[in-house]
Amino acid sequence: MDETVVLGHLEALAHTLGIQIRYEYIESETAFPSGGLCRIRDKQVIIVNTKATVGEKVQTLTQALRRFDLSNIYLKPALRDLLEET
């Protein structure tokens, strides 16, 4: 599956789970330059670096969404495989 398509599916999944995605410029070149999951005022938010490549954005969303119970949500097999990789 094309990375851009995967990114769209991951964004839709986050929306389904009620998780906000914020694309922000992250200036730091050290810890977590691509972004990650955080809690802001009791809401789950995934912050993604606008400068990240599509592959890095997919990786950031994948790592964040793996933390949630996805067992009762229909996902395309390729997307589920990506999320279940270790």
What mean pLDDT comes out for the span 7-34? 89
Residue 84 pLDDT: 94
The domain spans of the chain are: 3-84
Q: What is the pTM of this model?
A: 0.90
Q: Which helix (H) or strand (E) holds 7?
A: helix 3-16
Distances from the Cα of 12 to the Cα of 8, 15, 19, 26, 41, angstroms: 6, 5, 10, 23, 22
Tens digits of residue pLDDT in 21-63: 999 998 876 655 789 999 999 999 999 999 999 999 999 999 9
